Amino acid sequence: MDEMTFIDKIRKIIKMRHDDIVSSMASGGVDNMEKYQYMLGQIRTYQYLNQEISTLLNKKEQNDKDGTVININSKTEIELPNKELVGVKPTEKKIQQNSLNLPVGEF
């Protein structure tokens, strides 16, 4: 059995049980407060399980796609403008980007 088929079946079972409890509560199947609290806890558990499965699937999809990883430790050299800076020798016109200690986008 394919893992996505398995996950879909689990989600279908969770949804079916959730809907059964909601239907039972709406049709008057609750005769005391303890039963109400118990059923409410079941509904919350099924909602939590469904959310966790969705979150795990979204993380997997993000990791599988190309281009989602950004390398911020690159040592790309950048050119400084040709303006004369006080105290900077002409031989120091090239610097490494990661030695600037500036937030990304502020050059």
Q: pLDDT, tens digit, for every residue of 22-36? A: 999 999 999 999 999
pLDDT, mean of residues 84-96: 50
- Residue 105 CA to residue 107 CA, distance in Å, equals 6
Bigger pLDDT: 3 or 8?
8
> Which domain, by its residues, includes 42?
3-64
106, containing H or E segment: none
78, containing H or E segment: strand 77-79
* 10: nearest Cα among 44, 52, 40: 52
81: in domain: no
57: in domain: yes
Counted domains in the chain: 1
Its pTM stands at 0.54
Q: What is the pLDDT of residues 41-80, one digit of tens each?
A: 999 999 999 999 999 988 866 665 555 555 566 555 555 5
99: in domain: no
47: in domain: yes
The answer on pLDDT for 8 being more than 70 is yes
103: in domain: no
